[in-house]
Amino acid sequence: MLFKDIQYKSDCLYFRGDVPCVPHKDFGFKCDNCSFYKESKGKILIIKLGAIGDVIRTTPLLRKIWKEYPNYEVWWLTLSPAILPKSVNKILPFNLESIVTLPNIEFDILYSLDKDLYACSLANNIKAKEKFGFHLVNGKPAPINELAEHKFFTGLFDDLNKTNDQSYLQEIFGICGWEFNGEEYILEYSKSFKWDIQNDGKKIIGLNTGCGDRWVTRLWSYDYWVELIKLLQNNGFYPLLLGGKQEDEKNSKLAEETGAAYLGHYPLEQFISEVDQCDAIVTAVTMGMHLSIGLQKPTILFNNIFNPKEFELYGRGEIIMPEKVCTCYFSPKCKNKEYFCMDYITPDKIFEAVKRCF
């Protein structure tokens, strides 16, 4: 066989180069007679590393990119590759292989959306005809152009952040030169998981009891969770405790004390499926919040230390703030020696918000 006679089309959106493409694997096509051929008009790279929740809340950008740049390859560099939709052409984990590869590819557009030193440094070394977001100047993160200045300065100074009236999505769309028009999250997971939830037709209220290790200023008291569970049970709702490994002990104890359902903790995709069984979610600002929003569930959100304008609930649910002012803005640990503001978000207030969802 003369390999020089074999045709291949590296400009096709489906072409991989390292492994067979999907049309070949599924239907046996080769490049010289493939009805799936679709010419790639260019390449777009998104650098959004972040935690899982941070990546999920950036996925609405894909809807706009696909609309504005049809038939462009979209590449995404991230620390959370498992959460991205499979329709992204290349999902790159943030590792040595990706860092070595990317500077050797010319992109049409780079969206550099993180202000981490290493993300900004990489943005400096990426070849792209247009760049948006953040890069490195004098060893420090800086806005690439004026479109990124709003997000840059509200991240530097608390007084500016407190007066900010834009949501995260408005800011991130603005960085890219667009207006946010209600584009929804994109969240995919396997529908194959089976759950045996004996709710007898009652509305299932997911109670996401964790707040993460870093921002313990958001922690709601154990006794308040007990009280909320009882309010829900006594009024015809079915509370379902949610959380990860670090909430397992607390959720097990809550289930034993109150009789609330707790199914355990699971890997990400199965946890998404569990959240999707719920009719509404009560949560602090965590990954669970973003899963709830992505699944288009009514979301009752505890918030104390962040600007409430930052969050986009798409008109589903409410943000509940403490009745006494939080004095620990953007602080991981409470600095107020007089009171803990989360004690001033009472269970009855959360319960009334849950009722308003239906």
Q: Could you read off the pLDDT of 150-208 as tens digits, one per residue?
A: 999 999 999 899 999 999 999 999 999 999 999 999 999 998 999 999 999 999 999 99
Tell me how far apart the alpha carbons of residues 185 and 188 are, in angstroms, rounded to a whole number: 10
Other CB atoms within a 10 A radius of the CB of residue 244 amount to 18
Q: What percent of the chain has pLDDT over 70?
A: 99
133 token code pair: 């977001």
- pLDDT of res. 46: 98
Domains 42-175 and 203-355 share a fold: yes
Amino acid at residue number 44: I
The model's pLDDT over 311-330, given as tens digits with 9 standing for 90+, comes to: 999 999 999 999 988 888 88
Sequence-separated (6 or more) residues with CB below 8 Å from residue 110:
44, 45, 47, 123, 126, 128, 130, 131, 132, 133
- Under a CB-based contact definition with an 8 Å cutoff, are residues 162 and 153 in contact? no
Beta strands in 127-202 (DSSP E): 127-137, 140-143
Sign of CA dihedral 339, 342, 346, 347: negative
The model's pLDDT over 52-109, given as tens digits with 9 standing for 90+, comes to: 999 999 999 999 999 999 999 999 999 999 999 999 999 999 999 999 999 999 999 9
345 token code pair: 């978000």
For the chain, the first-to-last Cα distance in angstroms comes to 68
Q: Higher pLDDT residue, 125 or 22? A: 125
282 token code pair: 């009560």
Check if CATH label 1.20.1060 holds for domain 42-175.
no
For helices 60-68 and 168-175, give the axis angle rounded to 10 degrees: 30
Question: Does the pLDDT at position 2 exceed 70?
Answer: no
- pLDDT of res. 64: 98
Q: How many CA atoms lie within 13 A of 234 on its CB side?
A: 9
Domain boundaries of the chain, sorted by first residue? 3-33, 42-175, 203-355
- pLDDT of res. 243: 95
* Average pLDDT taken over every residue of the chain: 93
Give the DSSP per-residue string, 167-183.
-HHHHHHHHTT-----P
Q: What is the mean pLDDT of residues 205-223?
A: 86
The model's pLDDT over 285-311, given as tens digits with 9 standing for 90+, comes to: 999 999 999 999 999 999 998 999 999
Question: Does the pLDDT at position 271 exceed 70?
Answer: yes
Tell me how far apart the alpha carbons of residues 329 and 323 are, in angstroms, rounded to a whole number: 15
Distance set, CA 123 to CA 4, 48, 193, 230 (Å): 38, 11, 39, 51
- Under a CB-based contact definition with an 8 Å cutoff, are residues 314 and 182 in contact? yes
Tell me how far apart the alpha carbons of residues 289 and 212 are, in angstroms, rounded to a whole number: 12
> Of 136, 350, 117, whose CA–CA distance to 225 is shortest?
350
Question: Does the pLDDT at position 334 exceed 90?
Answer: no
Question: Does the pLDDT at position 1 exceed 70?
Answer: no
Distance set, CA 202 to CA 197, 199, 228, 240 (Å): 11, 5, 16, 11
Residue 17 banded pLDDT, cuts 50, 70, 90: confident
In words, the CATH class of domain 203-355 is alpha beta
Tell me how far apart the alpha carbons of residues 185 and 176 are, in angstroms, rounded to a whole number: 17
Distance of CA 116 to the CA centre of its chain: 17
